[in-house]
Amino acid sequence: MGRNVLLLGPQGAGKGTQAKRIEAEYGIPHIATGDMLREAITAGTELGRRVAPILAAGELVSDELMIELIRERLGRDDAEAGFVLDGFPRTMPQAEALDETLREIGRPLTVVFELQLPEEVCTERLTKRAALEGRVDDTPEVIRTRLALYRQETEPLVEHYRATGNLVGIHADRPVDEVFAEVQEAPEHLAV
């Protein structure tokens, strides 16, 4: 059945970094919807053209489009070994659609990690990343929009997953190795 891992947490909490470590350690693909959208933009596909202004503004792409994208991605062969989801779901309708999809394919989430980081530290980290990576959505105004959307739309998912009983909270204001050590210690994760 594989390990089916979900990472929650605000932008800047280190989801991408931890997901890459999990991918390398457990041999499961890192599925990052933000990366998928940025690739589409770079490739100049129809999808890319549709979503480019949305990403630039830090707004959310429609649930319908995102759900279609993730269903297609989870259906690919490499996801059969498991997956580490990063950046999806971001809204309650997305979470419900994911639950349904995973039920259909008989692949419940093994563990949900919430990387916890105070908002001001997120802002600091994203501002630094702007200088390093030059992401168009790391400007101060867009950072504010993205973090506000996290609080309004995504943070409620923590309670949704707490109710399903496999939520593990991790303090993310620490070095990458320390955070990853906790990821590896999660009993739900190792039990597979």
| Distance separating alpha carbons of residues 5 and 82, to the nearest angstrom | 8
Does position 137 interact with ligand AMP (CB under 6 A)? The reply is yes
Alpha-carbon distances, residue 25 vs 22, 52, 68 (angstroms): 5, 33, 28
**Contact between 184 and 21 (Cβ < 8 Å):** no
Q: Check residue 11 for interaction with ligand AMP (CB under 6 A).
A: yes
Element spanning 182, H or E: helix 176-185
Cα–Cα dist 75/61, whole Å: 21
Record the tokens describing residue 71, joined without a space: 């269903």
Contact 6, 112 (CB under 8 A): yes
Interaction of residue 55 with ligand AMP, rule CB under 6 A: yes
Tell me the closest approach of the beta carbon of residue 31 to ligand AMP, in angstroms.
11
Q: Which of 22, 28, 60, 111 binds ligand AMP (CB under 6 A)?
A: 60
Which one of residues 3, 87, 110, 123 is an interface residue with ligand AMP (CB under 6 A)?
87
Q: Is 38 a catalytic residue?
A: no
Residue among 20, 73, 107, 135 flagged as catalytic: 135
Report the candidate in 183, 185, 36 with the shortest Cα–Cα distance to residue 112: 183
Q: Which stretch binds ligand AMP (CB under 6 A): 1-9, 32-40, 111-119, 171-179?
A: 32-40
Active site residue 144: no
Residue 175 one-letter amino acid: P
66 part of the interface to ligand AMP, by CB under 6 A: yes
Quick check: 19 and 84 in contact, CB under 8 A? yes
Q: 101 or 188: whose CB is closer to ligand AMP?
A: 101
Nearer to ligand AMP, 55 or 185 (CB): 55
Residue 34 binds to ligand AMP (criterion: CB under 6 A): yes
User: Within 13 Å of residue 54, how many CA atoms lie on the same side as its CB?
Assistant: 17
**Residue choice 3, 21, 30, 90 for contact with ligand AMP (CB under 6 A):** 90
125 touches ligand AMP by CB under 6 A: no
Active site residue 15: yes
**Does 9 interact with ligand AMP (rule: CB under 6 A)?**
no
Helix (H, G, I), strand (E, B) or coil at 10: coil
* Contact footprint for ligand AMP (CB under 6 A): 11, 33-34, 37, 54-55, 58-61, 66, 87-88, 90, 94, 137, 146
